[in-house]
Amino acid sequence: NAGVTQTPKFQVLKTGQSMTLQCAQDMNHEYMSWYRQDPGMGLRLIHYSVGAGITDQGEVPNGYNVSRSTTEDFPLRLLSAAPSQTSVYFCASHKQANTEAFFGQGTRLTVV
């Protein structure tokens, strides 16, 4: 069982570069979301999706875009990387709104 798979695990970007963080789940979950984890702070919601074709903003969406063309995939795009986006990013999926959330292994992103 793969669960939630994130790639890459580590990434270094230069300011202004763009990139896509990949997230895939094989549990047929409708709900998927992206969080960032910064030192001294709890995980914060960036964007979420309640099903294929449906996405919405979380509490810290600026500088990020998402799409959900399939149930399985939920990529996160950084349009023009900034040092403030240095963080660890986690993708999560869950079957229904209130059920257990399964997290990926995380992507550690450094923007220099």
Binding interface with other proteins (CB under 8 A) = 4, 31, 35, 40-45, 48, 50, 56, 58-59, 90, 92, 97-106
| Nearest-approach distance from CB 18 to other proteins, in angstroms | 24
Least gap, CB of 72 to other proteins (angstroms):
18
Residue among 15 and 26 whose Cβ is closer to other proteins:
26
Q: How many CB atoms lie within 10 A of CB 96?
A: 10
**Distance between CA atoms of 79 and 17, rounded to whole angstroms?**
7
Beta carbon nearer to other proteins, 1 or 59: 59
CB of 112 to other proteins, least distance (A): 21
Please tell me the distance from the alpha carbon of residue 109 to that of residue 91, in angstroms, as a whole number.
14
Q: Nearer to other proteins by C-beta: 70 or 99? A: 99
**39 Rama class: left (phi>0) / alpha (psi -120 to 50) / beta:** beta
d(CA 20, CA 65): 9
Give me the residue label for tokens 């986006």. 85
Distance of closest approach, residue 92 Cβ to other proteins, in angstroms? 8
